[in-house]
């Protein structure tokens, strides 16, 4: 079984083709995975501009589909389904991907699969690792921060979410305030290398409180106030602040995951989303998981940020279950992951 996946929810134009393992193991194989990053278009604005992103998707997508098919040495007739991110995301970009996928599915009489972008992240670990359901998921990205129990495609129970800002947004804001560049997550992680993580004592919102919800707005404010007091041009202070910020985020994520593991015990903790590429945070969560008798599993770093392979794989997982979508599916800017199958209608 082979599925082509299209991802256009933000500033990555991505197309991939994945194939299920022949022996029905819960893993797959990536036959093609091409990504056009729009960093050049957005860097001078310090963030993603929705209209620019949508236009870039429109200009690049057809060529990337052709590139993916060529890389996989396949034609559209060799595919079993066409998947695309149906939301949540910047609606202009989502519409470009969905309409392209619909046209291909209609023209070649293939099943169409509208994939929840968050489900793409949630299931991406099963593309490369033999992870069985259920498992506990920490989903951390620029726009989302959630803890969920994953029982299967479309079967999620949310244990906690952020009450204000997402952790990835907090990374981006910190990088912007320090003039480290865009995207912020990798920039902060790089600046933190060699820094003193104990120099700055920053607030840990929700830390040691009951429940599994997150809050990062107070941390973001504290970072801004700290930066305003730093001596100009003090590279060591910047490195120390990034290390202290990263340690604080690690404290909060570990604390919230500990509560989730106590509430919904699991043998596997999965971390996914763009922030999951941070190796320091992976180390903190690996230690936390071991303390609770669980193992930490994360997708390869290249599959943490937005990509077409995770969308293709989520589509393949649904197609295995006989789940497809009609061609009148409407793209959506918001799409809660824990609403189940009924949220597709």
Which two tokens mark 70? 């060529």
- Find, among 10, 58, 65, 14, the residue nearest to 35 by Cα: 14
Q: Determine contact, residues 104/110, Cβ cutoff 8 Å.
A: yes
What pLDDT is stored for residue 341 in this prediction? 47
**108-150 tens-digit pLDDT:** 999 999 999 999 999 999 999 999 999 999 999 878 899 999 9
CA distance 263 to 256: 11
Burial of residue 135, with CB atoms counted within 10 A of its CB: 0-12 exposed, 13-18 middle, 19 or more buried: buried
CA distance 314 to 231: 48
What pLDDT is stored for residue 39 in this prediction? 67
Question: Is 0.85 surpassed by the pTM of this model?
Answer: yes
What pLDDT is stored for residue 161 in this prediction? 96
Contacts with 145 (C-beta within 8 Å, 6 or more apart), sequence order: 139, 161, 162, 166, 167, 168, 214, 216
**51-104 tens-digit pLDDT:** 888 999 999 999 999 999 999 999 999 999 999 999 999 999 999 999 999 999
- Find, among 144, 147, 183, the residue nearest to 164 by Cα: 144
What pLDDT is stored for residue 142 in this prediction? 78
CA distance 85 to 7: 5
What pLDDT is stored for residue 304 in this prediction? 94
What pLDDT is stored for residue 345 in this prediction? 52
Topology alike, domains 2-127+303-344 and 133-298: yes
DSSP string, 213-281: -B--HHHHHHHHHHHHTSPTT-HHHHHHHHHHHHHHHHHHHHHHHHHHHHHS--SEEEEESGGGG-HHH
What pLDDT is stored for residue 342 in this prediction? 45
Q: Determine contact, residues 33/308, Cβ cutoff 8 Å.
A: yes
Q: In CATH, what class is 2-127+303-344?
A: alpha beta
Domain limits of the chain?
2-127+303-344, 133-298
Q: What angle do CA 125, 165, 263 make, to 5 degrees?
A: 55
Dihedral, 334, 336, 340, 345 alpha carbons, nearest 10: -10
Q: Determine contact, residues 85/8, Cβ cutoff 8 Å.
A: yes
What pLDDT is stored for residue 340 in this prediction? 52
What architecture (CATH level 2) is domain 133-298? 2-Layer Sandwich (3.30)
Residues of the chain with pLDDT under 70: 23-24, 26, 39, 42, 339-345
């Amino acid at each position: 079984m082979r599925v082509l996946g299209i991802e256009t929810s933000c500033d990555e134009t991505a197309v991939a083709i994945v194939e299920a393992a022949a022996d029905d193991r819960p893993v797959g194989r990536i036959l093609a995975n091409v990504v056009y990053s729009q960093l050049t278009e957005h860097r001078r604005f310090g963030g993603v501009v929705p209209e620019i992103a949508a236009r870039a998707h429109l200009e690049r997508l057809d060529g990337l589909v052709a590139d993916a098919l060529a890389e996989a040495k396949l034609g559209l007739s060799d595919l079993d389904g066409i998947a695309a991110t149906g939301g949540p995301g910047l609606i202009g970009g989502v519409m470009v991907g969905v309409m392209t996928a619909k046209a291909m599915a209609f023209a070649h009489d293939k099943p169409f699969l509208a994939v929840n972008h968050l489900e793409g992240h949630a299931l991406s670990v099963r593309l490369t690792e033999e992870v069985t359901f259920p498992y506990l998921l920490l989903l951390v990205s620029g726009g989302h921060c959630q803890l969920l129990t994953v029982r299967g495609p479309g079967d999620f129970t949310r244990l906690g979410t952020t009450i204000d800002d997402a952790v990835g947004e907090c990374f981006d804001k910190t990088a912007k305030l320090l003039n480290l560049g865009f995207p912020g997550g990798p920039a902060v992680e790089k600046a933190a290398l060699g820094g003193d993580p104990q120099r700055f004592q920053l607030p840990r919102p929700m830390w040691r409180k009951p429940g599994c919800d997150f809050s990062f707005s107070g941390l973001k404010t504290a970072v801004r106030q700290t930066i305003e007091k730093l001596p100009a041009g003090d590279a060591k202070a910047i490195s120390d602040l990034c290390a202290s910020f990263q340690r604080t985020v690690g404290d909060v994520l570990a604390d919230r995951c500990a509560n989730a593991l106590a509430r919904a015990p699991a043998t596997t903790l999965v971390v996914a989303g763009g922030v999951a590429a941070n190796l320091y945070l992976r180390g903190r969560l690996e230690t936390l998981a071991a303390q609770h008798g669980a193992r930490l599993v994360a997708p390869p770093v290249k599959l943490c940020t937005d990509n077409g392979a995770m969308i293709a794989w989520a589509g393949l997982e649904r197609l295995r279950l006989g789940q497809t979508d009609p061609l009148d599916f409407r793209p959506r800017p918001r799409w809660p992951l824990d609403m189940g199958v009924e949220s597709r209608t």
